[in-house]
Each structure stands twice: as C-alpha cells, then as structure tokens.
C-alpha cells in the first residue's frame, strides 16, 4: 500500500530570522512566526492524515496553531544536532573556519559539526520510522519537523549526496510531499509546496 507523506517545516523563530543554526536548542516560535503559521493552509487530503511532530517547541507549537489533533511526538523527527555550532551562523562559520569548513562541507552526507550529527545519521534514525509508516496501513501521514530532517528525507528520495545544489529548497512556509511505497521506497511527489495564501500583516 502506498502511503502519502507530507513533511511540514516548522514556523519561523527569532533564530531563523537572525540566520542562526538552532539544532537541538529548544527555541519557540516568535510573534511574527505564530502569526505566519496561523495563515498557512494545508492540503485538504492532509487533514485526515495521522500526524507526528518533533518534540522541539517550535514544531509542537506549529502543529497546535495548525489545529492538528492527536499529534504523536516522535523523537526521531528532532532537528539535526549541530553540536558546538548551535547558535552560530553559516556565514560566520565559513568566515572563521574557511579551509576546515570547506573540507567539512565537501563531505556531503558525512558533514559533521563538532560534537554534532551527520545527515547520514539523521537518515539512519528516519529509516525505522519510514518502515513503520510503510507498514502502518495509513493512507496519509504528516510530519511537523525541521529543515535538516526534511533535507535528509529529500536526499533519501532523490539519491542526492548533499554535494552541490540539490535543485530544490526547503523554504519557510513550505511542505514537501512524498510517496512511501513497498520496501520503504521514498519518492518525491511535490517539492516546496507553498502553504501561505496571504502575507502576515
């Protein structure tokens, strides 16, 4: 049985606006972020989905504001661990650690922040979840999660090795739609589905 899967990136926080990497830091949505999520519109079919959320506040708040019911908090959907680089900006890290940062980014799926997690390790914790969902009998599943997790799913679905541009983005106010087929095969159906019908005034 094919499972339709929608992965929603949480709403914006102050750290998002400042360009800082949040990782496991439990940063809540800010006022404008809450206002923005309140204007998001999910596809009608996703309203009957079984929903899961990362345990971090910015994800659970997003689920609550979207009016999702009976959401299961799942630790496997937590953001990639950025270790000692949490609270830093990517631009700042590239300026301070030029050669080291270039070499690390050139590792693709093996990119590892000091004391943190690689994208491949994120995929490893997602695979058992995908197996569970594939065998659950659910026709549709939704996830409220994070950019790093969604990028790991996109890499699984497309074979992207995280070297060079993927050809798709994970912008705020967006969702990625996948199909989960037999043998846990993940297929990208709709990248960067916009959720915002109007701007937050």
**Domains recognised in the chain with CATH numbers:** 3-194 (3.40.50.1240)
**132: how many CB neighbours lie within 10 A of its CB?**
14
Q: What is the pLDDT along the chain (201 residues), one digit of tens a residue?
A: 799 999 999 999 999 999 999 999 999 999 999 999 999 999 999 988 999 999 999 999 999 999 999 999 999 999 999 999 999 998 999 998 888 888 998 999 999 999 999 999 999 999 999 999 998 888 999 999 999 999 999 999 999 999 977 777 888 899 999 999 977 799 999 988 999 764 444
Dihedral sign for Cα 13, 150, 78, 87, please.
negative
Catalytic choice (10, 36, 86, 146): 10
86 has catalytic annotation: no
Angle, alpha carbons 154-155-158 (nearest 5°): 80
Nearest to 122 by CA among 149, 156, 82, 158: 149
Dihedral through CA 90, CA 92, CA 96, CA 99, nearest 10? 30
Whole-number pLDDT of residue 197: 64
Question: Which run of H or E residues covers position 46?
Answer: none
Q: Please compute, for residue 134, the number of CA atoms within 13 A of its CA located in the half-sphere on the CB side.
A: 16
SS3 61: helix
CA distance 20 to 86: 7
79 is catalytic: yes
Q: Catalytic residue, from 36, 61, 79, 117: name it.
A: 79
| Alpha carbons 54 and 66: distance in angstroms, whole number | 15
Cβ atoms of 152 and 122 closer than 8 Å: yes
**In this predicted structure, what is the pLDDT of residue 201?**
40
């Amino acid at each position: 049985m094919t499972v339709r899967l929608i992965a929603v990136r949480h709403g914006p926080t102050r750290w998002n606006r400042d360009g800082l990497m949040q990782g496991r830091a439990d940063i809540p949505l800010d006022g404008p972020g809450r206002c923005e999520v309140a204007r998001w519109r999910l596809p009608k079919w996703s309203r009957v989905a079984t929903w899961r959320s990362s345990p971090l506040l910015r994800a659970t708040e997003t689920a609550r504001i979207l009016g999702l019911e009976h959401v299961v908090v799942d630790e496997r959907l937590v953001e990639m661990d950025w270790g000692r680089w949490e609270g830093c900006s990517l631009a700042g890290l590239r300026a301070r650690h030029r050669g080291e940062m270039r070499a690390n980014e050139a590792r693709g799926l093996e990119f590892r922040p000091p004391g943190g997690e690689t994208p491949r390790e994120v995929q490893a914790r997602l695979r058992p979840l995908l197996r569970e969902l594939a065998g659950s009998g659910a026709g549709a599943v939704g996830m409220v999660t994070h950019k790093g997790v969604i990028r790991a799913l996109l890499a699984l679905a497309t074979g992207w090795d995280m070297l060079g541009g993927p050809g798709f983005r994970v912008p705020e106010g967006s969702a990625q739609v996948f199909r989960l087929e037999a043998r846990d095969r993940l297929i990208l159906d709709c990248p960067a589905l916009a959720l915002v019908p109007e701007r937050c005034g």
